[in-house]
Structure 1
Amino acid sequence: MLAVVLLAGGGIRFAGSGGDESKPTAKASTDPGPGPTGDRGGGKAGKPSPAARDLRAEADALNAERGPGEAKVLWLQEGGVDLPRNGSDVYGPWIVGDTIVKAMFQTLSGYSVTDGHQKWSLRMPSNLCAAPSRATADGKIVLGIKSGHGDRASCDALQMVDLTTGKAGWHKTYERQGLWDGLSHVAMAINGDTVTVGRTTRTDAFRVSDGKVLFGKLPGNCQPFGFASGPEGIAATSCQTAADDHKEQQVQRIDPVTGKVQWTYKVKKGWQVAQFYLASPPVVSLKQDDKWAILVLNENGTYRSQLIGGTEDYVTECDEDLLTDGKSLDNCLGVAADDRAVYLATKPDPAARRPTNKVVAFDLNTGRTKWKAAAPAGQTLMPMRVEGGRLLMYLSAGKNKGGGIASLPPTGGTPQMVLRHPAAAAAVERDFFASRVAYLNGRSFLVHARISGIDDEAEKSMKSIVGFGN
């Protein structure tokens, strides 16, 4: 089973209601090694960092102070890698069975979810530059990597990997044509056995299992520039109206195998598709400069509603908010949706001594508020996803208060804790201020979306993953 992973921005109010063919090298980890302390094999020379430390004693000390009903710190991990200047983006995590996987710099690494022991490590021929938010149902993924080295290396190579075993599959490059294509960020997604590689002017699609090209540029001047991962092929499309203008956009359902357009919804001119919060039914984030709107469509692509935000400010934390090369159109914390409602987090008052917020549910049919639920004092709630009919949320750590995973029923009310992180680890948890949050099978993980430091030692010692569970 694969986890849905979400990014942990700023608040905003709604805008009214209207070719390198070298192969990766794999290294299986069969000995205990240095413990859950770093990404062995990911340094500049592909060697373990001598600064990597065993953090099991630190986790044990935090657990010794646990209170009743609090989960354990399962394990901690440092960055442990000597990175280029300005640090490195972290892709993932992806959870497959009992393995959690992250990708950083030039290395993909798999760790045991229970104790952080490194199970395998796979070295890429060059830097990672893009990745989908999800893998296939059987644990395969295709990563974007650069086809060369140096500042001018282009993000135009793909590497398939089996996340269960850490074994590399097919590897190929694709052509980026023209100035717009060459300069645009890459947005990757997986739909069934298809991986799409979107850019400003086109999307190329490949079969995950064998790398076969499925489709490229589509007929006409409107081209998809990004898909949302998942079973449905929901795409954001840009229509070129002039040589330097790509702001007429559409939402389309596109068959991920053939590229055939099944329906089209034209977005109001000047507005751009920013994120997909849900593919079925489509819930779409639209941006225009500092304006924001959330659009709900019917399954056939016709208009259903637009959320009416009122006087509240709302906040989401998405991949698009990071200064990264690879973008994702479907990876946000602070928003969730199902077939009944859209759930958003309000922006906490930054001037408050103990900032807190609310979760607001909006009716899909009317766009109006259904209910509001307050976070505990001094903490914030960020919606993650709906599972088993209940809204799952990440509760941030407060001063001397552990965070955790909380839930709400469809009717709202008082949040109930699903997994309570220990208060003793609150300081550690609060350091993960820009992180991705994963929750699956009673375990939660915080993973920094970027590793950097003021010097090499700070970079290596920055904690990259913390896991909690019972």
Structure 2
Amino acid sequence: MSTPPPPSQPPSGGFGAPQDPPPGGFGKPEEQPPGGFGGPPPVPPAMPAGPPPPPPAQPPTAQPPTVPAGQPAGQPSGQPAYGYPPQQQQPYGYPQQPQPVTTPMYAAQSPAVPAGGGGGGGGNEVRTQLMIVGAALLAIALIVGGGLWYVSGDDKGSGNQPVAEGSASPGTGGDKAPGGGGTEKVPAKTKSKTLVNVPMPDSAEIVQIPGSWLTDTTYAKSDMGKVVGYNLTDGSKKWEIPLGANVCGASRWASDNKTAILFDEALPTPEKKYQPCNQVGVIDLEAGKLLWKANAKSQTGGDKPINLSEVTVSGQTVAAGSLSGGAAWNLADGKVLWSAKTDADRCADLGYAGGPALAVIRRCGQSPNYVLSAQSLDPVTGAPKGSYKLPAGLDFAQIVSSKPLIVAANVNDTAKNATGISDLFVLDDGGQLKARIPLTSGNYSPDCGATEVEDCTHMVVGNGKIYMPTEEHKGTSESGRTNEIVSFDLETGKLTTDRADAGERHTVFPMRMDGSNLIVYKVPPYDGGGQIVSVDGKTMKQTVLMQNPATKESQRAETQYVPNAAEYRYGNGKLFIARDAVHSKSSVSTDPYYNFVSFTTG
């Protein structure tokens, strides 16, 4: 991520300069060097010049949930029931990744989430302070990805307007066969092979490259100064869009085979090393063209473009925002639809979440007495259709899903295990609270960031439920680690009896819905390959769609990415795993570093 120059926009491109808060906020796992989970500690990549990074953070001990006596399975309590056998209820102690900068998600989601430069203008104080803290921690901005977002031009909105397709962490809607079993079929051969692995460009600075999209024919990925499309048939380069600047934010959604990105004003130069992130553009993922670009002006006057930190797509609307304000444009031609206004109550839009609907987190007042509201918006006019006031004491909140509207927050800083979430708020179309889902037990492992609105990962909405992974815990073997996917009912807020086990020495997280089925990724152990599995939404029966190779070369390529700090895209027998930032390569490790790796069963 590149950021504007001081004083009002602290730089974030390298050690010794203040860092933008990553999509998931500070204190999130750094991208893991080759070696994978569950194996011997790999040699970390070399860091850019500067003081040594902080040591890996050890998460607090967490106990797997137990079922209180006399309580039926699936009923919430202080320790929700997962149905673990007694011998599996061991303290959590699996080492986490170094804590310099993200995921969280997600960011993945994180995410999220894909953050750009710090906001410009008078609303930068909080963000600037976070940047400085990040520099002190030597945070490496590895942004959230996670999940899969499909691209479709199907007319699923009113007025024949394409709806942003997708479902991932976070996400909802976009299922190709709502209520059905989905469209992902078991291939003739589930054992995969490498499609194409694209090397990571070397860079002395940390440079963000957020954004991955998968269509029926193309995989598109941000790269340094450009976006590149690859043919799904053989992995060859299909097109390239030179931007003359680095990408600093990306929508996780696409509509009508189009998506939105944020990019800097220009490429860094020796005289201006930290460029402002103030450009928004729409790219055609099939044709490989930048259709238009624009910027947003400050609401306090003047023609200087404001810095933007996140962008999203919903139907025919592109919405981008930051602490300095935001605006919305028509997806097709870039015409301005509306601009976020700061009113007499010092209210401002923190950021937007897209997909099947458009929603916003709006903040009013002054620190430390902010009042936050979650609102569903008319994507054409920006007018609120419903509003819910969140609990007092929050500075930020995230939107997990825009339809149904689900908000994540860390109420009174009660989130455990660095998830960033203490509670989920499920709202109806009018902004009324339907259910509040507490996650303060620490038994669950979704992930939300600190400041960006669309920055949660490893949560998927479908079948009237929200699915998420449990915290890792001891398996049946002496050293094995594992976890499960469970769900909460969105009407009652209660834990259901759903459970999909990762299996011994594997961990699992949900990627997206496929009709009523759930597409999940199984993180491999140090001596095996990962899996893509379809989970039946009714029976929770698992069907393997892809089994990746267990060879040393393939396994180390696949596991050089931290699951909640990378972009995972799967569809029609193709899996892509990509990084969100590039950095200098290790002078010790001989393993290659990749921008992305991919697998195919075809």
Q: TM-score, normalised by structure 2?
A: 0.61
The more displaced of 406-415 and 440-449 is 406-415
Matched with 1:382 is 509
Matched with 1:145 is 263
Deviation at residue 106 of structure 1 after TM alignment: 1.0
Q: Supply the distance in 1 between the matched residues of 2:260 and 2:531 (Cα, whole angstroms).
A: 31
Q: What pairs with 1:182-331 in structure 2 (closer than 5 Å)?
A: 186-218=309-341, 220=343, 221-239=346-364, 241-242=365-366, 244-245=367-368, 247-288=370-411, 289-291=413-415, 292-309=422-439, 311-317=441-447, 320=449, 329-330=453-454
SS of the equivalent of 2:524 reads coil
Which of 462, 473, 487 does residue 338 from structure 1 map onto?
A: 462
CA contact (8 A) 1:90 1:105 kept: yes
Which of 284, 296, 309 does residue 174 from structure 1 map onto?
A: 296
SS of the equivalent of 2:556 reads helix
- Whether 1:427 and 2:560 are equivalent positions in the alignment is no
CA contact (8 A) 2:308 2:320 kept: no
Matched with 1:155 is 277
Q: Supply the distance in 2 between the matched residues of 1:285 and 1:184 (Cα, whole angstroms).
A: 25
Q: Supply the distance in 1 between the matched residues of 2:275 and 2:245 (Cα, whole angstroms).
A: 9
- Whether 1:95 and 2:214 are equivalent positions in the alignment is yes
CA contact (8 A) 1:453 1:462 kept: no
Matched with 1:450 is 581
SS of the equivalent of 1:426 reads helix
Matched with 2:597 is 466
Deviations 1:324-380 (A, max 9, x none): xxx864454421112421111112149983321111111112222112332111011
CA contact (8 A) 2:278 2:307 kept: no
Matched with 2:531 is 404
The residue type paired with residue 575 of structure 2 is S
Q: TM-score, normalised by structure 1?
A: 0.77
SS of the equivalent of 1:75 reads coil
Matched with 1:118 is 237
Matched with 2:170 is none
Deviations 1:370-427 (A, max 9, x none): 1233211101110112212112111111132211211222345453322222222322
Matched with 1:357 is 483
SS of the equivalent of 1:453 reads coil
CA contact (8 A) 2:277 2:307 kept: no
Matched with 1:32 is none
Matched with 2:11 is none
Q: Supply the distance in 2 between the matched residues of 1:227 and 1:399 (Cα, whole angstroms).
A: 38
Q: What value does the CA root-mean-square deviation take over the aligned residues?
A: 3.3
Q: Supply the distance in 1 between the matched residues of 2:474 and 2:594 (Cα, whole angstroms).
A: 25
Query: Paired residues, what number?
Result: 402
Change (3 A) 1:196 1:129: same
SS of the equivalent of 1:119 reads strand
Percent of residue pairs identical: 24
CA contact (8 A) 2:425 2:435 kept: yes
Change (3 A) 1:77 1:398: same
Matched with 2:44 is none
The residue type paired with residue 361 of structure 1 is S
CA contact (8 A) 2:298 2:324 kept: no
Matched with 1:64 is none
The residue type paired with residue 364 of structure 1 is L
Specify every segment of 5 or more residues in structure 1 that has no aligned partner in the other structure, as ranges. Answer: 1-5, 18-67, 322-326
SS of the equivalent of 1:132 reads strand
Change (3 A) 1:234 1:350: farther
Deviation at residue 317 of structure 1 after TM alignment: 4.4
The residue type paired with residue 432 of structure 1 is Y
CA contact (8 A) 1:273 1:285 kept: no
Change (3 A) 1:413 1:170: closer
Question: Quick one: higher RCO (CA 8 Å, sep 6+), 1 or 2?
Answer: 2
The residue type paired with residue 114 of structure 1 is T
